[in-house]
Structure 1
Amino acid sequence: MAQAAQLVPGVTTVTPHARYFAIHGMVMAEAQARGLDKDATTDLLRRTEVAAAAVSFVHHGGHDSPTGRAHGTDSLAQRLRGGTLVMEEASAVGGYARNSWGFSGAYLGSEVTLGVLDQTRGPGETYDDVAVRGGIGRLLDLAREDELTLSDLAQDTGLCICAGPGRPDGRWLARLLCGKDERIAEDEATLSRRETIRLLARIVDTHDIRNLTEQVTDILAFGVFLSTDTVAAASPVAHRWRGVTLRNHAVSAWRRLWAWLVDQVVDVTHIDDVVAALLAELPAGTVGAWLSELPSTTGPDGAPAPAEVSLYDGYGAPAADLRVLCANAARVSELTGEIRKVFAGSPDHELTPAWLAANLDAQRSHSLHAFADRLVRQLLARSERVALMKTRRKADGTLWFPGRVRSLDGGWLYKTGAEGRGRVSLRLAQLGNVLVGSGVFADVGGRITVTALGRDLLV
């Protein structure tokens, strides 16, 4: 996640829509120009976000836009289906969003990184009021209305969250993302983001890409494209992306395996029973015999082969997840240079590929069941240790303990909830959405393409 943040600064897992960058910048510029206090500013912000949701709902007949659903649409669903929005009610705290700042909090860090806003939430150095108002200025007029009649919004579809491409605000954001605006600093963040977008554009140009997350991740992780394609081979971020995407297979397998172990804790369960549940999924024999049956992690050309993909068997398959982890750890001795540096981690840090590789090597002649037994106990102890590090005292004086599994005397365990098991996002889906929403990329019949604007900005 830290590496992804460095490679895609300005876009996070909770910033899926390009137009909200413009909306938030415009609202803060309007509040500054009118000298609004905090309450009036947050009221204007919430009303503007509600107006954007209403227009987007109308434009797509109640369905999602190509880049997803406008923020707050779910909470506004009943009012939207009724055909009218009383703005005071819809925009109230709890009406469409629980936070007084609406959905701007999710975007704030990214907007500060891009210079759209400053640290005080005021308009930043890269904000272009003329361009943004030229694209979505009418949203402020709608925000001031007492009531919105949805049938009247059909003429305002240019304000939809999908309508940024080709509009002044879309072109402004596209220049910022690609580092081609003279107001944005030529710093490491700008360069990393621009080179990542260039690499993605090259992949999109040379492949039939319909899912940025799955397809692009596999191209970055496996095969010879990064070394044989002239543009990719010259990319200063390609090796970092290979290391990150390969590491993500290990992180995802750990998450699935841990979630499965937590699911074995029912009511009050002894740790020995959790261990036994995993051992029942594994064959007898040594660690070395187990490792010898894994598929090759390199192809005939020496490039990484998709061993983790072939071994993956969905959730609820702990043996498959352990195989993924072991195959992934084998790459520690195969990778070199920056790829290995990003991928392997330190052998002194638990759960890194380097740590697992060292443990597997040291225990190659040991029983696989004994290895798995120690691993389960180590994971449970680590979970408690990490949770204790994150424990905080709440305002009412009680302690907040984030662990899902808690231990009692004598090795007994109980859980407070299920663990997350999804793949950790590398922000590629969100970056793709923002690039489509700003007109750098386009979705043409389900296929992602690079636009003429995108080609101009990525030269």
Structure 2
Amino acid sequence: MTVEGPAWTASGLRTGAGKYPMAVEQHVMALAARLVPGVTTVTPHARYYALHTLAAAEAEERELDRRQAQDLLRRMEVALAAVSFVHHDGKDTSLGRAHGTDALAGRLRSRTLSMPEAAVAGKGGYVQASWGFSGAYFGSELILGLLNEKRGPGPACDVQVLRSGMGELVDIARRDEIVLSDLADYGHLCMCSAAGAPDGRWLARLLAGSDSRTPDREQTQARKDTIQLIARIIDTHPVAHLTRDVGDVLAFGDFLVQDEETTRNPVAAVWRGLVLRNHTVGAWRRLWAWLVDEVAGLTHISDVASAFADRLPPGPLSSFLDSLPGNTLPSGQPADAERQLWNGYDAPDRDLAILAVGARRVDELTGDSLDVFAGRRDQELTPAWFAALLADARSTSARDFAVRLTKILIARSERVALAKARRRADGTLWFPARLRVLEDGWLYRVGEEGRGDVNMRLDRLGNVLAGAGVLAWEDGVCTVTTLGRELLA
């Protein structure tokens, strides 16, 4: 995969209200979207791709109007949740919980289920949205060619295959009353049963790039390269958690440059830069959340800065930086310094250390990994920018640097919030910030900031691939199935 131009450099995408106060996450999210098209953070289940496509095909064949098509889709989603609930005796499936299960829980523990009442959109039903949970999947289903822009069946829709795998779900959905015990005979329609079923194999081929009906071959190739890379790591390493275990192999060590298959994979170096960049993003998010938590009532910025400074050792910043673990292995490949330094969510000194380790990588990485990782030196909070900031401050004390960095982050948060601010219809100003800055350096907090890592979609991709039969879990360890090997060969 070519890594050049704006496609792989720091993104200027705008984010949702108050969700990303430091605006450091977009680069990681945009790259993950490019590498895993067709799967997002809100598309966890393989069988819903088939359900939504089959619903569209049925609506088109029956010439249903918009309202009727929506009703059919919602009924099918309720039917899938009910079948899965019964098949697993009220417990989650191996792939998680069907959409709407929580809202349906009371009804699903009864003897019967009224479909018109359960499938209604809005208050009292299983979901608020008129299109059920399909809104979360719609963009991915467009990318894969399952649906078209009008929510009709797309070029990759295979009605015969979908009916073979899930046709009975349509019949269940059309009933007005369901005796839940009768669903015990429909375990083959459960969320966990797509692997090996016709609709599961259909989706597996689309995801793995073995079906030419997907509309964008470049996106298909990026996804296939990513799946091949993940599968190779699963074949050669014990993987119990994709984001953690696969992510560590992608970021650290010699495997990517020594294994014959991964050295030929065009996205391997891109993923290395992305995972390493995400370590710095996580550190920025944790550090900022910690600073915001230090604001209790009306608090002066100097008190927040002092609290951060007190968590650092006395002496020059250079001594702090020189005390950090080494970045590289003897081979020159990245060592797991970030993993060694991480110490939970109440360690601003460790987060600063992780950021410093990342800054050193600007001079160590090469090629696509560097292009993805470093960012621009003139763009705040990128590794390249932070490397320049550290170089300029080496002779100052570590605690003075903490004070300076606190002021930079608070000022940035204010700018980001102002850029997103909007005037409401009633004339009031919507200002998406958890931390408000008053005159003369006074602060007050109106909420907590998120501090979790940015989701790179690896776990979601793994769950969808497992649902489609490409991957499987055996004794808590991920494996590549026979079908997966055939599709990825």
Shorter-chain TM-score tier: over 0.9
CA 1:19 to 1:334, structure 2 compared with 1: closer, same or farther past 3 Å? same
- Summarize deviations over 1:297-348 as a string: whole Å, max 9, x none: 1012211000000000001111111111111211111111111000111111
User: Structure 2: how far apart are the matches of 1:409 and 1:416?
Assistant: 17
AA of the residue aligned to 1:372:
A
- What is the DSSP-based 3-state SS (H/G/I as helix, E as strand, rest coil) of the residue aligned with 1:141? helix
The corresponding residue for 1:84 is 112
- Which residue, 342, 345, 348 being the options, matches 1:315? 345
AA of the residue aligned to 2:31:
Q
**Range moving further from structure 2, 427-436 or 319-328:** 319-328
- Which residue, 334, 348, 352 being the options, matches 2:364? 334
1:186 Cα shift? Answer: 5.8
Q: Does structure 2 conserve the Cα–Cα contact (< 8 Å) formed by 1:179 and 1:186?
A: no
The corresponding residue for 1:199 is 229
User: Structure 1: how far apart are the matches of 2:394 and 2:366?
Assistant: 23
The corresponding residue for 1:208 is 238
1:396 Cα shift? Answer: 4.6
1:269 Cα shift? Answer: 1.6
User: Structure 1: how far apart are the matches of 2:202 and 2:79?
Assistant: 22
User: Structure 1: how far apart are the matches of 2:382 and 2:78?
Assistant: 44
The corresponding residue for 2:374 is 344
Q: Does structure 2 conserve the Cα–Cα contact (< 8 Å) formed by 1:222 and 1:303?
A: yes
AA of the residue aligned to 1:52:
L
CA 1:76 to 1:355, structure 2 compared with 1: closer, same or farther past 3 Å? same
User: Structure 2: how far apart are the matches of 1:399 and 1:452?
Assistant: 57
- What is the DSSP-based 3-state SS (H/G/I as helix, E as strand, rest coil) of the residue aligned with 1:413? strand
- Structure 1 length as normaliser, TM-score? 0.98
CA 1:393 to 1:341, structure 2 compared with 1: closer, same or farther past 3 Å? same
The corresponding residue for 2:59 is 31
1:392 Cα shift? Answer: 2.8
- What is the DSSP-based 3-state SS (H/G/I as helix, E as strand, rest coil) of the residue aligned with 2:109? helix
Q: Which runs of 5+ in 2 are unaligned?
A: 1-28
AA of the residue aligned to 2:155:
E
- Summarize deviations over 1:99-154 as a string: whole Å, max 9, x none: 11111111011000111111111111111111111111111111111122221111
CA 1:83 to 1:325, structure 2 compared with 1: closer, same or farther past 3 Å? farther
- Structure 2 length as normaliser, TM-score? 0.92
Q: Does structure 1 conserve the Cα–Cα contact (< 8 Å) formed by 2:76 and 2:173?
A: yes
The corresponding residue for 1:380 is 410
User: Structure 2: how far apart are the matches of 1:80 and 1:448?
Assistant: 31
Matched, 1:426 2:444: no
User: Structure 2: how far apart are the matches of 1:358 and 1:282?
Assistant: 20
1:29 Cα shift? Answer: 1.2
- Summarize deviations over 1:5-48 as a string: whole Å, max 9, x none: 11101111111101110011111111111222222111111111
User: Structure 2: how far apart are the matches of 1:179 and 1:343?
Assistant: 27
Matched, 1:406 2:451: no
CA 1:356 to 1:171, structure 2 compared with 1: closer, same or farther past 3 Å? same
**Range moving further from structure 2, 179-188 or 356-365:** 179-188
User: Structure 2: how far apart are the matches of 1:380 and 1:68?
Assistant: 39
**Range moving further from structure 2, 240-249 or 62-71:** 62-71
User: Structure 2: how far apart are the matches of 1:337 and 1:173?
Assistant: 34
- Which residue, 388, 399, 423 being the options, matches 1:369? 399
Q: Which runs of 5+ in 1 are unaligned?
A: none
User: Structure 2: how far apart are the matches of 1:273 and 1:83?
Assistant: 60
- What is the DSSP-based 3-state SS (H/G/I as helix, E as strand, rest coil) of the residue aligned with 1:442? strand
Instruction: Give aligned-pair identity as a percent.
Output: 58
- What is the DSSP-based 3-state SS (H/G/I as helix, E as strand, rest coil) of the residue aligned with 1:333? coil
User: Structure 2: how far apart are the matches of 1:119 and 1:393?
Assistant: 32
Matched, 1:63 2:91: yes
User: Structure 1: how far apart are the matches of 2:143 and 2:96?
Assistant: 23
AA of the residue aligned to 1:240:
V
Alignment map for 1:36-435 (pairs within 5 Å): 36-94=64-122, 95-185=125-215, 187-435=217-465
RMSD value, Cα: 1.2
- Summarize deviations over 1:175-225 as a string: whole Å, max 9, x none: 100111121246210110000001111111111211111100000000001
AA of the residue aligned to 1:50:
V
**Range moving further from structure 2, 237-246 or 320-329:** 320-329
User: Structure 1: how far apart are the matches of 2:91 and 2:229?
Assistant: 32
1:55 Cα shift? Answer: 0.7
